[in-house]
Structure 1
Amino acid sequence: MATITTLRPPASRTPQPAHGGSTQLLSGDALRLDGVTRAFGALRAIDGVSLAVTAGQKYAILGSNGAGKTTLFNAITGDFPPTAGRIHFFGEDITDLPPQDRIRKGLRRTYQSSLLFRDLSVRDNLFLAVRGVASGRFSFRRPGAGHASTRATEDLLERARLSHIADEKVANLAHGQQRQLEIGMALAGAPRLILFDEPAAGLSPAERRELVALLTSLPAHMSFVLIEHDLDIALRVVDRVTVMHNGRVLRTGSPAEIEGDAQVQAIYMGSKH
C-alpha cells in the first residue's frame, strides 16, 4: 500500500456570495462553485453546492451512488450546465461557456466509461489527444519526428508510464492500462485542472498501486478533482475532501478530518473503519 502523502492545509479564504455577474476570484483559486444547482424537472440532482479548489490543490469528492458527484462534474464541464449558481475557473465566470471553450481554457475530464480508440495504438491515441488541443489540429498531414506534437506525445507516454506498450493496440490492454491511457490523454495540452471520474473503478490491487503512483507524480502546480469510491486511494492522493449526500455538501475537510468524522463513517465507511 502506498504511503500516505503529507497533508497540506487548505488556503484560507473569505467566502463570497454567489451572483450572476463575473467576478475576480481570491488569489489562488483554480475552481470555485457558488451555489451550483442542477435540476431535471422537479428533481434537484445537485442542490446549492459551493466549494473552492486552490491552484495546485488535489481534491476529492466522495459520496455514495446517487449523491450527485457525476452530475456535479457534468455541470463543471458544461455537459449539463447548472440551472442555478455560478462556476469560476481561474478568475473567469465560465458558467455559460460551451464545453469546448472550457477545454481550451485548460479544463480536462476523464469519464467512468472508457472513451478510447480501441483499434489504434497507445501512441496514436495520445497523439490524437495532443492534436485535438493544438493549433492546426485540422491538418491532415502527420507531423514528423521533430514536430512539437510528436515530442509531446512521447512525453505523455513517459508521464502516463506507458512507453513500454506504446505500439500496442488499445483493445489488447488490461483495464488498468486503459485507465492510465485516459489520464495520459487528459494531460495533453498542459491542462490547468483535471476532473477524474472514478479512475480506480474495476482495477486490481496492483493496478491501484500503479494509479496511486501516477496521480502522485503529477506536477505540483496542476490541480485535480477526483471522484472515487475507493476511499483508500482517494484519501492518499488528495489534500482536501468534500463529502456529498443527496446532492448537497455534507462535510469538507482534510483527509484526516474526513476519515475521523463519525457521520461520514456511519454513512459511507461502515463500522470496519
Structure 2
Amino acid sequence: MNAPAKVSDRLSATGTANALELRNVSKYFGALAALEDINITVRPGERRAVLGSNGAGKTTLFNCVTGDFLATTGNIRFFGEDISEFPPHERIRRGLRRTYQISLLFTGLSVRDNIYLSCVGVSRRRFSFLRPRRDDALMAAADNLVDVVHLTDDRDTLVSNLSYGQQRQLEIAMALAGAPRFILFDEPAAGLSPTERRELVDILNGLPGHMGYIIIEHDMDVALRVAESVTMMHNGRIFKEGKPAEIEEDPEVQALYLGGDDG
C-alpha cells in the first residue's frame, strides 16, 4: 500500500461555488428571535471571524450551519448545495466540521488514538471493529495530523495528561480528520495562556490555503490575526462587516464590543 499523502496534499480542493452561503436565515425559539435575516457569503479558502457580545447569536448561527438546529426561515448552501434540511451527519459527510467550546475527547486514550478514531469516524470503515494494521492508511493520516497541530512529541501521551491548551490543539486535529472542506471553530482560544494562544494562531495560520473556516472568538487579538474578514453580530443580527483593521478601528464596534464579555 502506498503511503498516504501529507495532510496539505490530501485536503481536497474546493471548486468554484461559494463555500458557505446563508440567505435570510432566522431562528426563533417561541417568540424569541435568536437570529434574524442573516445573510453571509464565505468564499472557498476564506477565513472569517464572527464576533459579538454574549447573546449576539454566534453559537446559534453555528448550530444552524451544522444542523444541530434547523433554521426557522431561510436557506443554507454549502459549496452550492442546499443543506438547509440536512441532519448533522449528512453535513459532515459533505466536508463540514466543527469544534465546540467544551472539550469532547477520550481522555483515557492517547493523542494519536483520538485522532485515529476521528479519521475512522468519517471514513467508510466507521462501522468496522478490526484493529488497525501497521500499514493502516488512517493511522498514517492521524500521525500527519499530530504534526499539523504541533503535538509531535505528545502523540503517545494520554489525553488526561495533556495541558488544557494541548487538548484544544488536539480538537483541531480531530476536526481536520477526513480532509474537510470547511471548519467552524467555536472559541478555540478560550482558557488558553498567552503562550498557548500564540501557538493556536500559528496552527490556524499554517492550515492549507484552500481550507476556509469561521472562527467565533472572545479574544479579539487572536481573531483578527487569523481572519481576513470579520462579521460583527448584535442581538441576533449582523451589525458590521469588514476587514480586521476596519473593524478594530470602527468607533461603533469599540463602543459596543471591545472590552466586553463575549460568549
Instruction: Quote the Cα distance in structure 1 between the aligned partners of 2:250 and 2:55.
Output: 21
Instruction: Quote the Cα distance in structure 1 between the aligned partners of 2:216 and 2:103.
Output: 15
The answer to whether residue 210 in structure 2 is matched with residue 226 in structure 1 is: no
The equivalent of 2:67 in structure 1 is 78
In structure 2, relative to structure 1, the CA distance for the partners of 1:163 and 1:259 (3 Å cut) is same
The answer to whether residue 155 in structure 2 is matched with residue 166 in structure 1 is: yes
Match of 1:45 among 17, 27, 34: 34
Match of 1:69 among 34, 46, 58: 58
TM superposition shift of 1:163: 1.4
Matched to 2:196, the amino acid is: E
Alignment of 1:130-145 (within 5 A): 130-145=119-134
Seq. identity, %? 59
The equivalent of 1:93 in structure 2 is 82
The answer to whether residue 75 in structure 2 is matched with residue 60 in structure 1 is: no
Whether the 8 Å contact between 2:17 and 2:80 is mirrored in structure 1 is no
Whether the 8 Å contact between 1:145 and 1:151 is mirrored in structure 2 is no
Matched to 2:150, the amino acid is: R
Secondary structure, counterpart of 2:166 in structure 1? helix
Alignment of 1:83-232 (within 5 A): 83-232=72-221
Instruction: Quote the Cα distance in structure 2 between the aligned partners of 1:70 and 1:267.
Output: 19
Instruction: Quote the Cα distance in structure 2 between the aligned partners of 1:39 and 1:144.
Output: 49
- Which 4+ stretches in 1 moved above 2 angstroms? none
The equivalent of 2:7 in structure 1 is none
TM superposition shift of 1:27: 4.4
The alignment yields a C-alpha RMSD, in angstroms, of: 1.2
Alignment of 1:254-265 (within 5 A): 254-265=243-254
Instruction: Quote the Cα distance in structure 1 between the aligned partners of 2:63 and 2:150.
Output: 28
Secondary structure, counterpart of 2:19 in structure 1? strand
Whether the 8 Å contact between 1:56 and 1:222 is mirrored in structure 2 is yes
Secondary structure, counterpart of 1:236 in structure 2? helix
Instruction: Quote the Cα distance in structure 1 between the aligned partners of 2:76 and 2:235.
Output: 20
Aligned length: 246
Instruction: Quote the Cα distance in structure 1 between the aligned partners of 2:112 and 2:206.
Output: 20
Secondary structure, counterpart of 1:131 in structure 2? helix
TM superposition shift of 1:250: 0.0
Secondary structure, counterpart of 2:257 in structure 1? helix
TM superposition shift of 1:145: 2.2
**What TM-score, normalized by structure 1, do the two folds share?**
0.88
Whether the 8 Å contact between 1:228 and 1:234 is mirrored in structure 2 is yes
